[in-house]
Amino acid sequence: MDLQHLELLRELRDRGTITAVAAAGFRSPSAVSQQLRTAERAFGMRLVEPDGRRLRLTEAGRLLADGAQQVAVTLAGLQAQLDDLRGQPQGTVRVCGLPSATEFLMPEVITRLAGTQVRIELTDEDIAEADFAGLTADHDLVIAHSLAAVPSGSADRLVVSLATEPLDVAVPVGHRLAGRHQLSPSDLAEEDWIGVPAGFPFDTVRIAIENRCGRSLNVVQRVRDNRLVEALVAKGIGCGLLPRFTTRPRHGVVTIPLAEVRSTRQIVAIARPDRVERAAVRLTLDLLVEIGRELR
């Protein structure tokens, strides 16, 4: 078996389209299609089939793509043993994360790695929950969040819990609720609401509030950035949700715990199983877990 053919099928499974596979490998879609045809001749079976305007893996293609992951884990394990023989982890670890989670995790990780031979290459992405797993194709570790234990779409990835963070309701100073020590959904029924785009985890809390109080909140804005939520709340434009660990004191904003609905998010690290076999990635992941434990 040609390992390149196996890896191609795995890439197609994870990225979804020939165009995405081509872009990731700096190739043309026609070159990727040609490689797929070569793989089919080599295996003597159809590996892809039409699915509307796209292609999807056949049963044989899925079998080989899953096998490619097992091969990658084995090879990565050998690499890890070589890393151990060198005496200490080394190399670059590519980390992509949600800004509001990486803010309280990654600066400390980078600080603790100072003096080692491990370098962190950090990028940030503020995207919908279902898209986090896809980022593992290009990054060693993805720091994500979810109101569930495992983010949607990451069933075949390694998911490691880092921290549990409460989400508090933010209200303007001087608001009728500002002096409360705790809020319930019924307290928010008449309020204007600053939400997040549909599909983002925090929106699940809004839905839970509506279900609990029996009416829809008046969503006046949908934004992704927590700093922008803070600014809008401070001006009295509405109430919103803010994560407790990364919300710093801001003039004009009061944060209050929310009761009666699930209002905590799980901060997790997502990775392809073979990536975590690298000693440098394992060390980085261990530090993330340690720092998350200290927060708890």
HSE toward the beta carbon, residue 124, CA cutoff 13 A = 12
- 34-41 mean pLDDT: 88
Task: Give the DSSP letter string of 150-193.
Answer: S-TT-TTSEEEEEEEEEEEEEEETT-TTTT-S-B-GGGGTTSEE
Q: How far is CA 267 from CA 43, 76, 146, 172, 232, in A?
A: 41, 26, 7, 27, 25
pLDDT of residue 98 exceeding 70: yes
Position 18 scores a pLDDT of 87
Position 178 scores a pLDDT of 94
Q: If pLDDT is split at 50, 70 and 90, which confidence band does 187 have?
A: very high
Mean pLDDT, the chain, rounded, equals 89
Cα–Cα distance, 258 to 261 (Å, whole number): 7
Q: Which residue has the tokens 């879609």?
A: 29
- 147-168 mean pLDDT: 86
Position 296 scores a pLDDT of 64
For residue 226, give both structure tokens.
């927590």
Q: Do domains 88-164+266-295 and 165-264 have the same CATH topology?
A: yes
Contact 157, 272 (CB under 8 A): yes
The whole-model pTM stands at: 0.75
CATH number, domain 3-70, options 2.60.40.290, 3.30.70.270, 1.10.10.10, 3.60.20.10: 1.10.10.10
Give, as one character, the DSSP assignment of residue 40: H
pLDDT in tens, 203-262: 999 999 999 988 889 999 999 999 999 999 999 999 999 999 888 888 999 999 999 999
High-pLDDT (> 90) share of the chain, %? 47
Does the domain formed by 165-264 have CATH 3.40.30.10?
A: no
- 168-195 mean pLDDT: 94
Q: Where are the domains of the chain?
A: 3-70, 88-164+266-295, 165-264
Which of 196, 190, 153, 191 has its CA nearest to residue 171? Answer: 191
User: Parallel, antiparallel, or unpaired: how do β-strands 253-257 and 158-172 relate?
Assistant: antiparallel
User: Parallel, antiparallel, or unpaired: how do β-strands 117-124 and 264-271 relate?
Assistant: unpaired
pLDDT of residue 51 exceeding 70: yes
Handedness of CA 232, 238, 240, 246 (dihedral sign): positive
For residue 13, give both structure tokens.
């499974």
Does the domain formed by 88-164+266-295 have CATH 3.30.950.10?
A: no
Q: For the purposes of burial, counting CB atoms within 10 Å of the CB of 103, is it exposed (0-12), middle (13-18) or buried (19 or more)?
A: middle
As a residue count, the chain comes to 296
Most confident listed range (123-127, 200-204, 256-260):
256-260
